Structure 1
Amino acid sequence: MTSDNHTHDRELQQDARAWADFTGTKYTAALRQMGSPLAQGLLGERVSARHLIATLDQHAVIGARGGSPRLGENGFRSEATWRFDRETDFIELALITDMLRMFTPIPDSATPEVGSYSLKHTAEEFLAPHCSYVSNGRLIWAAAALGLPVADPGGSGPNLLIGVPEREHDYVRRMTGSGQTRPKADHHRPAGYEYLQSALARAAAGERIAGAWVRPAPVAVSAPFHDWLVLQVGRNDVIGDLAGDYVAGVRDSDHRVARTPDELLAIFHVVAHSPEAYDAVVSAIAEWMRTVPSAAPVRTEPIRGGEHDHGGWGAGAGTVERYEYRCPCGDGAIVEEHDNVPGFREHDVRIDCSKCDVEWAFVGGRSVRDWGLQPVAVNATT
């Protein structure tokens, strides 16, 4: 037996003895829980039973610190004693801890916003069927032991506020909760969400997860158009109204972030909107392009197209290409054609939509294959 294995086994045994004494469990039953694949630590180090027990006495908010218990099965200031089944209690706390680990830690200076009672229901939904019930008290206990910010909102209730991002929690709640409207975008998905789902299934099958999960480093993605549009919130005009609706949609995961005008148009092709809202989009893009003259022109998403052989007109065979892209309003198309036939080499791109043909124009100085659009209003004089 290697030194590392010996140390690991000794820690499991020490934890099992502590847990058995604390819960009134037989040592062998406690040791089985310590060694369960589901308690191995799926998103971090294995949870220490001794640390969990110490948290109930020493934690700054929930710790008894030598006095009467401040945390019980029903939550903070709960007089309900812990109800240990002596078979799965530690495993469930380990699973709750991993569920909390998947969220992005909030700064210590930030005020926690997510209520423990709401979070405990989310934990139940996410961890099912591996953990059928999560009490309010155990959710708070795991959060405190993990070192997440925990705050008392005041009053005399049993719920505390837990330091996980409110938007990430809302995403998980809506993805896992029955009867919820699922998010349509994933920018608020917790970093560990997909990995933990996979690891839970593997651990439930008895697998030991090799290698530690590493939280991805935050990546700054340039989104100048998004940043500009956010700054327009509060304006007393159609662009201000558009910006407010857009920000609400990003906040609620109703659509993705529009890093460019192209992506804002793509959003409007899949969400319900009024003609007035689309007109506001065109106005916003025109203003953006006037504000940032170096901004790239708009390219819309492809619809269909391809290349086919052509026998030619006597000077040899060739090919003909035809590609269609969605027009900005979504009701027509941008048609790009290339005749690659000897003697008839022609290239053309046109707007096949009566509305967009009036409101949009091709940017000059670009090849047919490199076409780009801008609102006619960009160059309009005031």
Structure 2
Amino acid sequence: MTPNNTPNRALQQDARAWSKFTGTKYTTALRQMSSPLAQGLLGKRVSARHLIRTLSEHDLVGARGGDPVLGENGFRSESPWQLDGKSDFIELALITEFLRMFTPTSAAEVGSYSLKHTAEWFLSPRCSYVSNGRLIWAAAAMGLSITDPDGEGPNLLIGISEREHDYVRRMVGHGQSRPRADHYLPAGYEHLRDALTRAGAGELVTSDWVPPVPTDEPAPFHDWLVRQVGRNDAVGDLAGDYSAGVHDSDHHLARTAGDLLTIFHETSHSAEAYDAAVTSIAEWMRTAPSVDPIRTKPVGESKDDHQGWGAGAGTTERYEYLCPCGAGAIIEEHDNIPGFREHDVRIFCDKCREEWRFVEGRGVRDWALEPTAMNTAA
């Protein structure tokens, strides 16, 4: 709408086209065109005229002068469109916004039938039912890659990120286990959720969403570990389980070797899997000796005043960290007392004392660990 609440020319043209296409009154169609939910929440407002042209001209789902090839139930469906004339355009606009949330892919990866259910869960209650045909219609209008996997059924494959879709499906689906990591969170997820709430309350969302610039954050240990998938040893088994966990968003990426230990602290695992992790880290450090050694997670600290031992008052400091296996602790202590200055760091875990050592040449406050086996021949 323009500032004086007069519909602009594009809205009027869309309303006339949609009125003719659906057989509804112009004023009813214009009301849909003007809805805050149909003004573009993650991108440019979807055009009713473009949606209509898609059914005629699209290379795969367009009729192109023949009989319709896309219907309410999907591709090759003879079921007619069940457009109610009151909310159908708004629903298509919302499906478009839902699809815009995902990263497009050149290869079609996600089935339309699965995707339509995810859209229902995500968009509910504003759009509690999404037909297979409308999902395909919106995807075609967006220019997403679409392929016919079997040449028979009503379902098509849509070109969006399969891993992002799996993340969203698990976030909103009924009976789904929620992801524990967000590396496959679609960039527009949070913005769209917020915009849907505001627009659903009647607010005209005018702020443009600016997609974040993709960052290629280094993940050297992750890259190395996934290359070990397929090895016929404990490291290969660990790499396979780790890669599956990343794929399923069950844990975050281990960009560094220390991140792998954090994952073990946060997830259940066997003793054998942990031993394989230590072996992997030792091999990684042999392979890339310039990598930073490991600091574990801090879990507590205390700082106290001390009256001293006759030469003046001072302070004591105590810092506690998880040990690598997580069953014990690393204790760092500092006595800052005149005449009695001592600094010490020790591992309070029998298993970790055997498997880990402090890196030589570093101060107590700058301690770091490396596996004792890292110099063992592979």
Q: Same fold (TM over 0.5)?
A: yes
Q: Which residue in the other structure is 1:64 paired with?
A: 63
Report the CA distance between 1:306 and its aligned residue. Answer: 2.3
Q: Is the contact made by 2:32 and 2:38 (CA closer than 8 Å) also made in structure 1?
A: yes
* C-alpha separation in 2, matches of 1:211 and 1:8: 19
Report the CA distance between 1:69 and its aligned residue. Answer: 0.2
Q: Which residue in the other structure is 1:152 paired with?
A: 148
Report the CA distance between 1:354 and its aligned residue. Answer: 0.6
* C-alpha separation in 1, matches of 2:39 and 2:289: 56
Q: Does 1:302 align with 2:310?
A: no
Structure 1 counterpart of 2:98, one-letter code: M
Question: Which residue, 136, 142, 149 being the options, matches 1:140?
Answer: 136
Q: Does 1:37 align with 2:33?
A: no
SS at 1:322's partner residue?
Answer: strand
Q: Provide closer, same or farther for how the CA distance between residues 147 and 285 of structure 1 changes in structure 2, counting only shifts above 3 A.
A: same
SS at 1:340's partner residue?
Answer: strand
SS at 1:269's partner residue?
Answer: helix
SS at 1:338's partner residue?
Answer: strand
What are structure 1's unaligned runs of at least 5 residues? none
Q: Which residue in the other structure is 2:123 paired with?
A: 127
SS at 1:266's partner residue?
Answer: helix
Q: Provide closer, same or farther for how the CA distance between residues 331 and 349 of structure 1 changes in structure 2, counting only shifts above 3 A.
A: same
* Matched ranges for 1:93-112 at <5 A: 93-107=92-106, 111-112=107-108
Structure 2 counterpart of 1:287, one-letter code: E
Question: Which residue, 270, 275, 280 being the options, matches 1:279?
Answer: 275
* Matched ranges for 1:307-318 at <5 A: 307-318=303-314
* C-alpha separation in 2, matches of 1:69 and 1:147: 19
Quote the sequence identity (%).
70
Q: Is the contact made by 2:238 and 2:273 (CA closer than 8 Å) also made in structure 1?
A: yes
SS at 2:365's partner residue?
Answer: coil
What are the superposed Cα offsets for residues 5-37 of structure 1, whole Å, 9 maximum, x if unpaired? 899611101100100100011111100000000
Q: Which residue in the other structure is 2:348 paired with?
A: 352
Q: Which residue in the other structure is 2:50 paired with?
A: 51
Q: Count the aligned residue pairs.
A: 378
Report the CA distance between 1:54 and its aligned residue. Answer: 0.3
Question: Which residue, 187, 192, 196 being the options, matches 1:200?
Answer: 196
Question: Which residue, 168, 178, 184 being the options, matches 2:174?
Answer: 178
What are structure 2's unaligned runs of at least 5 residues? none
Q: Which residue in the other structure is 1:334 paired with?
A: 330
TM-score, normalised via structure 2 length: 0.98
Q: Does 1:115 align with 2:75?
A: no
* C-alpha separation in 2, matches of 1:360 and 1:280: 14
What are the superposed Cα offsets for residues 147-184 of structure 1, whole Å, 9 maximum, x if unpaired? 10111112321111100111110001000001000001
Q: Which residue in the other structure is 1:220 paired with?
A: 216
* C-alpha separation in 2, matches of 1:5 and 1:278: 66
SS at 1:361's partner residue?
Answer: strand
Q: Provide closer, same or farther for how the CA distance between residues 8 and 370 of structure 1 changes in structure 2, counting only shifts above 3 A.
A: farther
SS at 2:283's partner residue?
Answer: helix
Q: Is the contact made by 2:7 and 2:34 (CA closer than 8 Å) also made in structure 1?
A: no
Report the CA distance between 1:207 and its aligned residue. Answer: 1.3
Runs of 4+ in 1 over 4 A off after TM superposition: 4-8
SS at 1:254's partner residue?
Answer: coil
Q: Does 1:266 align with 2:262?
A: yes
SS at 1:349's partner residue?
Answer: strand
TM-score, normalised via structure 1 length: 0.97
What are the superposed Cα offsets for residues 256-291 of structure 1, whole Å, 9 maximum, x if unpaired? 000011100000011111101000000000011111
Q: Which residue in the other structure is 2:339 paired with?
A: 343
What are the superposed Cα offsets for residues 299-330 of structure 1, whole Å, 9 maximum, x if unpaired? 00001112111111111111100000000000
Q: Give RMSD over aligned pairs.
A: 1.5
SS at 2:223's partner residue?
Answer: helix
Q: Provide closer, same or farther for how the CA distance between residues 339 and 7 of structure 1 changes in structure 2, counting only shifts above 3 A.
A: same
Structure 1 counterpart of 2:373, one-letter code: A
Question: Which residue, 364, 367, 370 being the options, matches 1:371?
Answer: 367
What are the superposed Cα offsets for residues 60-95 of structure 1, whole Å, 9 maximum, x if unpaired? 000000110000000001110000111100000000
What are the superposed Cα offsets for residues 131-152 of structure 1, whole Å, 9 maximum, x if unpaired? 1110000000000001101111
Structure 2 counterpart of 1:294, one-letter code: S
Q: Which residue in the other structure is 1:162 paired with?
A: 158
Structure 2 counterpart of 1:55, one-letter code: T
Q: Which residue in the other structure is 1:189 paired with?
A: 185
Q: Does 1:361 align with 2:357?
A: yes
* C-alpha separation in 2, matches of 1:349 and 1:381: 29
* C-alpha separation in 1, matches of 2:90 and 2:377: 69
